[in-house]
Every structure is written in C-alpha cells, then in structure tokens.
Structure 1
Amino acid sequence: MAKWGEGDPRWIVEERPDAANVNNWHWTEKDATAWSIDKLKSLLTSIEINSPELGSWKLSDIKPEGEASASNRKGKLIILYDWTINGKIEGKASDASESSSGTVEIKNFSFESELEEAEINVKLQPITNVLKKELSDQIILKLKQYLELLKKDFADGLQLPTAHGTSQSSKKSTVEVKNVERQDSSKTSTSGSSSLGLKISTKRAKLSDSFKCEAHELYRVFVTEEMIKAFTRSDAKVEGHKGGKFVFMNGQISGEYVELDPPGKIVKKWRSKDWPEGHYSVVTIELVQKEDCTDLSLVQTGIPSSDHERIKDGWKRLIFEPIKSTFGYGARIL
C-alpha cells in the first residue's frame, strides 16, 4: 500500500474537496453547436468596412452549418469544430452611384485544418482585390476570436477547480484544439507546440463504389445495428440517429453520427481503437441513386498518416465487400 501522499495523483481525492472528477481526469463533454451558431452570427455580422477607397460594406444573414464540442480528458481541453458558413454582403463602392449585394461562403473551417486554410469565397459585382483581401482578413480575425471564446468562455466549467482554488489548466497549459493539418498527397506535418494545440500528421482518403440496391437500402446498412452486426460478423452497439454513438468490430471502431440526411448523406466522427486518445477522423458518405445501382462516394479526413493505407484497404475489404456478399448488393437488380 502506498504511503500517504505517494499514491497515483489521478486518484488523490483531497485535490477536490467534493471529490468530483479528481484532477479533471474523467471525460466530460459539452455540445457547443447552439452556442457557436449564435456566436458566429454575432461576430461576423459585426464586420463593417468604411473607407474612402473601398466604400461602405457589411455582412448580414449569416447561416452557420456544422457542429462544435468541448471535452475534458485527463486534464486536457479538447476542442472539435467543423463549419460551413454562408451569408450576404451589402454595401456601396466609393465610386458607385448605386448599392450592390452579393454572397459570402466560408468553407474548410474545421479542427482538421489550419485557420488560415479556411476558404473564403466572395461573389460580388464589382469587387476589387483590395476589398476581397480586407474582407478575408476581417473574417479570419473574427473566426480566431470565435476559437478563443470557445476555449475560454464556453468551455468554462469543464475543468473543475481544485481544493486550492485553481484548475489543472491554470497550473499548466493543456488546451488542445484538435487543429489537425490535412494532407492530400505528400504534404507533411510534424508534432509541435502550436498556440492552438498539438498537431497530428494526417491524411485524407477518398473512395467510391457501386452497389446493386436502392439508395435507401444501402443507407440503412450504415445506421442499423442488426445490419452492421450481420456484415461485420461481430458485436455492435449502434444508435442510428443524429448525435447517436456507435461501436462495432468488437470495439475496434467507434464514433458518433454528426449528420444524417436519408437516403443520401451520412457524416460521422470515426476513430480506430489504436489511434491517439481523443483523436477522431470525419467520414462523409454520399449515396446517389442511379437507374440500376447506387453509387457511393466516401471522404475521410483526419486519418493519422501512418494508418492511411490500412484504413483505405479496410473500407474495401472489411466494409464494402462484406456488405455486397452479405446482402446480395453485388448482384444485378433484375
């Protein structure tokens, strides 16, 4: 038996007078989606440009689509987010006689990419390169503010104070925004101490296949517990609804359904058991009904680089082919 004060610090209850979540060791999570939608709308609609050179412009009707969450595990704050944002731009150029309007689209604003890699598309006639750059710079600034608020304000309370009145994060900076750098080919990323958190070298996989069935039938295969048990020939726990968790292949694969749009689209957070703890990829499956088959396209981002080929092979060998053989979806529809 360990002497007083020499035990594993994760279990020293004195660190918290109420013994709740000792040393912030246990997993806690907060859904930040609704909070984020309001915050992104507020931040982006505050953008205004007023100058003799560029004229007067402002953003409006901001519509964020996506999700965000904040989690605490082993004293580390993990931030996940994935957003596509659309809005309007209205105003008047300094040399114009009439007002004009256009649209703004922000894509690739995700924990899988660097903030500066967010795609900002402005459709406005006329528009100058100077105005476009100014808009992009202000949008990036507001997105950065959103991430700072997500970490500081929304996540407040996830890491509980100790008996001494301080949280684990006040002793040591342990915030991890899972800001994973995406690699489409030979691009590499090494682990480093970025101000936004630890990076993991990742890659992106894209696969496609055709199945001899209706789109709604194939959709059910990916969200129905009994069907997943059948083609994997293993135990599975599946909550086939938005926000529902899944675990299959005897615990090797787990995750959560992020978006379900039957019968054409499934988006889910997805991880392999042997990946770094807390790291999830994002899988997007799209199904297109054709005359005699259903075409499937799959994009998976955030795959640890060392596991890229194994994961791609696994989708073909352990998912697609077993689905065809188990349910007869490799045969022709007569």
Structure 2
Amino acid sequence: MRQMSTIGIGRRKNASPWSQERIKELFNNIPVKTDQADINIIEVDKLEGEASASNRKGKLIFFYEWDITIQWSGKLKDGSDRMFSGKIKIPNLSEENDISDLDIQISVTDEDEEGFKLKQIMQQVGKDLVRTQLALYISGLKEEFSQGMILPKKGEVKPDVVKTITSGFNKKISMEPVINVEQKQTGVKIATTTIKQTHKFQCTAQEIYDALMRTELVIAFTKGDVKLEPVKGGKFELFGGNIVGSFDELVPAKKIVKQWRYKQWPAGHYSTVTLNLEQKSDHTEVVLEQIGVPTADAEVTKENWQRYYWDAIKQTFGFGAFFT
C-alpha cells in the first residue's frame, strides 16, 4: 500500500469509514442490464485500503486506494436455468488510475459453456456498470469531503467566510424544457442571440474537461442516462434526450466546440457552443459562448446552464469552494 506524503498538508480528514460504507452500498444487489441473461452484482466480498481528503496550500488533495472483490451471480435466459456465481476483482482503485483504464478482472466459478457465456457478458456489460458505480463513489467522495476543507493562506481571509457553492442535487433531475409554441412553426425564421458566460472552478483544466467529456463523470453530475461519443463528429444526448448534438472540435484541457440544441427548438435548429478552458495558478476559468440561441429562450437557457451544468459539476465533484 502506498504511503501518502504529509509534507505541506494542513487539514486532513479520514475518509476510509465513509468510503467503505459507500462502496458496499453501490455494489449491493445491483442488476446488470442485458437481454441475454439475468445477472446481479450481489455484494462486496473484500474491501481493503484507505481514503482521505487533505488541504495542501489551499488546494484539496484526495487520496484513495482500494483492493476490492465483489460477488456476482446469474443465469442465461436461453440456457439450462442453472445459476452460476463469480467474482469481480479491482486490485488497484486509486486516484493514480483513470476509471477507464482500471484493471477489472471477471471470473466465474464453473467455466463450462454456459459459465463462459456469462463471463463474456460480464466482460462486455458488467465492467461498464462497475466503472459507473466507482465513478459515483469518487464523485461522492469529493462532494462529501470538500466541505470546509478549502482554507485561505495565512493573512488573507478568515475560514468562516469560506463558501462552498452547492445546488442541492440529491436526486435524479430532468432538464427544464424550453417550449415556445410560435417557434414550432416550420419554415418560420426565428430571431437568435448569443450567450456568454465565465465560470471559475477549483480544479485543473484537465479535470473540468474530463467532467464534461467522460461518460461516467457526465452521468454523475447529470444524474441520468448519457449517450456520449467523445471524438470529433461524435454525438451526445443528455437529460433524457432533451439536449442533443455533436462535437466539432475537441482539444483536451483546452477547448470544446459542439453543435447543441434543445429537443424543443424548431426542427433542425442548432446553436454553436464553444467552451474555452484556461488554467490559472489556483483555478480554471471556463468561458462559454453559445451562438444561435433563440432570443425567446435566452434567459431560460442561461439559467439551465447555471443550474444543470455549472452548479451540478461544482456540487458533484467539489470544484466550487472559493473565498469571498
């Protein structure tokens, strides 16, 4: 097990007990959705490691390292109705390893023809579910332990004026629809405008880029199903299909350009959203420019960006603690 350096660290919170409870909760009787079999992740069989949150020079440092073994069971829908069991091993869940690159090992107790098929299904579908659940653990860890951890440098400002921006996202949400009856008329030219916003996040540019572009992290802050192809020309669908579009340009940690529309906008009408990410010494600045927003919907579109994107990201990942 790695040892965490304590040089330059101020406050430190032990996140291990909370983490153990949360990880066990996330893998307690979870169905693996597939048309080929009835499979359930049953429970955590082994959980060894530690987690903590620390303040280092005004920045939050999250440390976690876990060795996890999970039990699963299932049977093929077109098989002999025989129940099989197996295990999922994650030997090194840590902040040093990206969720998408995790070593997830699937095994089945009896690897005959049916057992092998079940193992293949778990390889194809079960691993994605495991990654999604672990992403929820990581985002929850940052949310739970960011409160009160960002303290100012000596002589700048007192701790009691530290504010953490939250949005109260604790349940599944659906994007507030934008409906304008007049705009539904096909062939009618609509007036459009441009939206500009600037937001600060207490994280690196890569971290905010990942929050916007990695499927498991987008699922975490939108609290719903996500379809996302993070490549140029790739499509995305968020908030139950209420927001759809495609990517024009992707520069990791720098820039995102996409064609973006509300489902309720006139057929075929897209706006162009450009997000420029600039990493500063102690935060990252995100500048949004959205061209082609129907004028009648401009205000609610601004409000939805604030509520369902920026506030949700800050609350979910702990990127929103600043001094005032």
Considering the TM-score relative to the shorter chain, is it more than 0.5? no
Greater C-alpha Rg? 1
Structure with larger RCO (C-alpha < 8 A, sep 6+): 2
TM-score, with structure 2 as normaliser: 0.41
